[in-house]
Chains A and B, each alone.
Chain A
Amino acid sequence: MKKDQTPMPEPIPEEVLEKWEARGVSRRDFIKFCSAMTATLALPAAFIPKVARAIEDNRVPVIWLEFQDCAGDTEALLRANQPTVAKLVLELISLEYHETIMAAAGHQAEAAKKQAMEKYKGKYIAVVEGAIPAGDGGVYCTVGGKSAIDTIKQVCGNAAATIAVGNCATFGGIPAAAPNPTGAISVEQAVPGATVINLPGCPLNTDNLTATIVHFLTFGKLPATDRQNRPLFAYGKRIHDNCERRAHFDAGQYAENFNDVGHRNGFCLYKLGCKGPETFHNCPTIRYNEGTSWPVMAGHGCIGCAEAGFWDTMTPFYRRLPQVPGFGIEATADKIGIGLAAATAVAFGAHGVVSAFRKGETIESDKTEKED
């Protein structure tokens, strides 16, 4: 009986592997990278060779601009693991301009940008980090004596595509928070005609950036997006719906205070202000720093950093959301909590017994509460 209709993935062509080996990238590493990329992009395994082909010998020129930024997204890039930043910069892309990283300075740096724009006109990817201050004739951010607004128009206007990284570039972020003293705007607002994809987050998750670049290389176009121009593969699902603590929410088990027993045992952080129910991002599944952790896992609520205007709409950060979508007004969270707690008490008890049994006789049954 044939159950699995998925075809076996084609192998990655030998000559591709050899080329990468010659560049000091082991077969194992390269295959791992292609598989990880394919998985992050939510593509079937059959696409692995296509991904491998796409990035082979095709270093896409990238111009990375920084405006009203904190370099947090650049630092995130330095934490990249799939591939590492060294592989990314030496082998996957050709980073023509990036103030924080590049060796050249002053007019030689600006010349590098100009050369790349001319040589790769219409072919390069622009990455923008930071908001663009449009107020007062652009005096709040100049590089090489030119205003950010002039530079972005020029660079993004001639790019194949622009990737806005981090909340400042995608939505104006912190400079645009009330009262927006510098008239900060997003990339889309600054260059309305350009092809822009938004990768918010504060900072963005670097895995989502590499996946977007690889998607572009593989298919020659940007991935499908939601209404806010965020790729669905990364921002298609609500944090709350994928959260590792969701079962506690459903069971009405909340941390009431930082440092209480519930907090130490991984209960839901909703009452401590978690914004997971209103935030769309893949933090719970890919996490940060090579899958080490993410805010909710470490005991602090989500602050909603992938959403537009979160510095104003999600604050105060420690006040619980007035309503959780799907559950109506605030009082219901408690009510649902109580109701669900009663309903789940039976199931919970049964589960406790099972886990105590599974772990053997050395486990005292009163510890089973911690199993959840």
Chain B
Amino acid sequence: MAKKIVVDPITRIEGHLRIEAQLEGNKIAKAWSSSTMFRGIETILKGRDPRDAHHFTQRFCGVCTTVHSIASIRCVEDALKIRIPDNARLIRNLIMASQNMQDHVIHFYHLHALDWVDITGALKADPAKTAKLAQSISDWPKSSATYFKGVQERIGAFVGTGRLGPFQNAYWGHPAYKLPPEANLMAVAHYLEALEWQKDVIQIHAILGSKNPHPQTFLVGGMAIPVDPNSQNALNADRVAQIGKLLARCRTFVEQVYIPDLLAVASFYKDWAGIGGGVGNFLSYGDFPMDNSGSVESLWLPRGVIMAKDLANVQEMDQAKVTEYVTHSWYTYSQGDEKGLHPYKGETNQKYTGPKPPFEHLNTDEKYSWVKAPRYMDQPMEVGPLARMVIAYAQGVPEAKKAVGYVLNKLGVGPEALFSTLGRTAARGIETLLLAQKSQIWLNQLADNMGRGTLDTFNPERWDPATWPKEARGFGYHEAPRGALGHWINIESGAIANYQAVVPSTWNAGPRDAMGQAGPYEAALAGTPIADPEKPLELLRTVHSFDPCLACAVHLLDSRGTEIVKVKAL
């Protein structure tokens, strides 16, 4: 039998992910993606006040914080037919945009970069040459030889202590690392810069949402943060100016550091434009409404579906075509595990059939993950920045066409290069650039509204449950950093009867379905080269290019009448 390797835990992600892969020669032939943690938050939601749901669902994830609050309030608003005030739309757009930008930068520098950048290589760099390299690709003012020398000394002193902390035992010196020492030093310097940057710019969330992670001003019907230029207890001109300054800082860093670094690193790894393609089907719910009509047409990043990499044919997305399979997931369906179910009719009975821990291997022919397998028209779909960018590009969204064209041109590759590990990583950068250039508009609109005396941030008409229909159901969408996020709610007599989330990493990290079709991670890993099975660096590159978020991905659906056995604490 071919050699099977296990990487557990996959680190530098959110949550608990395990990959098992079967090698043939020096390539991955087959891979299995398994999530190894489960909480059951949807079950916990049952019977509770729908207006509280966003506080619970936000805790699906603290990395993609905010996103499950947005999708949650939107599904309740859809169910109760609530239209939010324009200010609430703008505040939400600003929160979503800053979440996406900050999260993408953290992903690039702190979660993904070490797959491409060898920190130990940075110690061999010539600071003067590094400065020259940095200055040749960007106007970023910090790129002096003295600056890089300082960073190198700091890293040198750290390594000199002999205690590498979070950098010990990694794949340093691996033959797949291709950057020259100077590029390594530049990237390490910006790893540290980005650590500072991310905590500063996310103050936008603190201003609009009270804190980050887990901002607390979301509200069914709008936002709890008041707007009033004549109050010191509300968003006023001073706070708007603060946000403006932070957005400017976002944009400068993205334009002068992130994008140049991305292009510089990518230019050494162009072979990765031919690796890690995956399923080739893409789905986006679209997001960033440009008015508060609630229409699909108002979404700046468009809604749509692309099948089999066919950029000439963007299809309409219909949420009714979403189903989830549990054939290879640790759940059972009452009508049999071979059939997919739509989220409104989702069922859950968690049933672990895997090996008793501690274990060496999972039985990947049977059930092997806590993640379900979502499908669209029975097809596995990739979601995320790449899906959004190819759909926006194919739809002819001007900013996307321009930015995608710029990056492809810089790297000297065609659009087919997008369908790869490198393309996925590049698309994330392109999207960050688009958002950095767009978000100031929403702040300006908010300031205009304030100037005109339009102060509403909340629509109180349906706040009181007495105004609700006896039964209602709704779909809430959001394009989170990691992709298409959908929440489905059934409300009965003022309480949650059923709640379900199909999240980006469920789409991407899900296991095989009843037809045996591999999920996007699994499909993308097939064909990935592995130089050293003991140090599967290349596997990490492809998995990390999706930006996995497993706490989000695992949830427990609950159908009416399904009794969840209460487990007693030991």
Contacts from A to B (Cβ < 8 Å): 22-24, 59, 66-76, 78-81, 84-86, 89-91, 93-112, 131, 133-147, 149-150, 173-175, 177-185, 189, 202-203, 257-259, 263-266, 287-290, 292-300, 303, 311, 315-318, 370
Contact = CB atoms under 8 A, between A and B. Distances in A.
A106 B8 contact: yes
B406 interface: no
Given A71-B61, A73-B62, A181-B556, A141 B48 contact: no
A70 B233 contact: no
A315 B53 CA distance: 10
Interface string B43-79: 1100011011001100111110100000000000000
B16 interface: yes
A259 to B, nearest CB: 4
Contacts of A81: 199
Given A180-B569, A266-B234, A299-B225, 6 more contacts: A135-B569, A138-B357, A142-B16, A180-B567, A297-B233, A315-B49
B59 A300 contact: no
Contacts of B157: 22-24
Interface string B3-14: 000111111111
Interface stretch (B132-140, B205-213, B466-474, B502-510): B205-213
A316 B52 contact: yes
A248 to B, nearest CB: 10
B51 A184 contact: no
Interface string B191-218: 0100110110011011111111110110
Contacts of B335: none
B163 interface: yes
A96 B233 contact: no
B497 to A, nearest CB: 15
B166 A101 contact: yes
Contact of B196 (A84, A105, A174, A288): A84
Of all A-B residue pairs in the complex, the 3 with the closest CB atoms, nearest first, are: A72-B62, A266-B233, A135-B567
B166 A98 contact: yes
Nearest to B370: A140
Given A295-B216, A298-B225, A370 B63 contact: no
Contacts of B199: 78-81, 84-85, 289-290
A141 to B, nearest CB: 4
A296 B106 CA distance: 28
Nearest to A97: B166
B44 A317 contact: no
Contacts of B110: 78, 101
B61 A70 contact: yes
Contacts of A136: 352, 567
Contact of B168 (A22, A96, A298): A96
B119 interface: yes
Nearest to B36: A142
B44 to A, nearest CB: 5
A144 B219 CA distance: 39
Given A137-B357, A259-B457, A293 B213 contact: no
Nearest to B166: A102
Contacts of B11: 99-105, 109
B44 A264 contact: no
Interface of B: 6-16, 36-41, 43-44, 48-49, 51-52, 55-56, 59-63, 65, 106, 110-111, 114, 119, 150, 153-154, 157-158, 161, 163, 165-171, 192, 195-196, 198-199, 202-203, 205-214, 216-217, 219, 222, 224-228, 230-234, 350, 352, 354, 356-360, 370, 455-458, 460, 463, 535-536, 540, 551, 556, 564, 566-570
Nearest to B49: A316
Contact of A139 (B43, B55, B106, B354): B354
A322 B100 CA distance: 39
A295 B357 contact: no
A318 B464 CA distance: 11
Nearest to B566: A179
Given A106-B8, A318-B51, A289 B203 contact: yes
B63 A300 contact: no
A99 B110 CA distance: 12
A36 to B, nearest CB: 15
Contact of B163 (A59, A140, A266): A59
Contacts of A84: 195-196, 199
A181 B210 contact: no
B214 A134 contact: no
A182 B39 contact: yes
Contacts of B356: 137, 139
A293 B206 contact: yes
9 contacts: A70-B60, A99-B11, A100-B12, A107-B6, A141-B37, A142-B359, A257-B463, A259-B222, A294-B211
A146 B358 contact: yes
Given A71-B14, A259-B226, A259-B460, A95 B166 contact: yes
A317 B217 CA distance: 12
B163 A179 contact: no
Residues of B contacting A: mostly = loop
A264 B229 CA distance: 10
A106 B360 CA distance: 12
A311 B40 CA distance: 14
A298 B357 contact: no
B195 A85 contact: yes
B44 A179 contact: yes
Interface centre among B7, B16, B357, by most chain A C-beta atoms within 10 angstroms, is B357
Given A142-B36, A174-B44, A70 B570 contact: no
Contacts of A287: 211
Interface centre among B106, B165, B456, by most chain A C-beta atoms within 10 angstroms, is B165
Given A134-B570, A174-B41, A298 B16 contact: no
Contacts of A144: 8-9
Contacts of B37: 67-68, 140-142
A108 B569 contact: no
Given A103-B12, A298-B225, A109 B195 contact: no
A181 B222 contact: no
Given A259-B222, A317-B55, A181 B40 contact: yes
Contact of B43 (A90, A181, A300): A181
A95 B161 CA distance: 13
A93 B212 CA distance: 23
B567 A182 contact: yes
Contact of A316 (B51, B350, B556): B51
Contact of A86 (B12, B55, B192, B212): B192
Contact of B62 (A71, A141, A315): A71
Contacts of B192: 86
A68 B14 CA distance: 11
Contacts of B158: 90-91
A89 B210 contact: no
Contacts of B43: 179, 181
Contact of A105 (B12, B44, B55, B556): B12
A101 B12 CA distance: 5
Nearest to B113: A103
B169 A299 contact: no
Interface centre among A145, A265, A266, A290, by most chain B C-beta atoms within 10 angstroms, is A145
Nearest to B87: A259
Nearest to B57: A174
Contacts of B564: 179, 181
B49 to A, nearest CB: 4
A177 B44 contact: yes
B195 A203 contact: no
B277 to A, nearest CB: 22
B563 to A, nearest CB: 10
B111 to A, nearest CB: 8
A35 to B, nearest CB: 20
Contacts of B226: 258-259, 263-264, 299
A104 B36 contact: no
Contacts of A112: 168-169
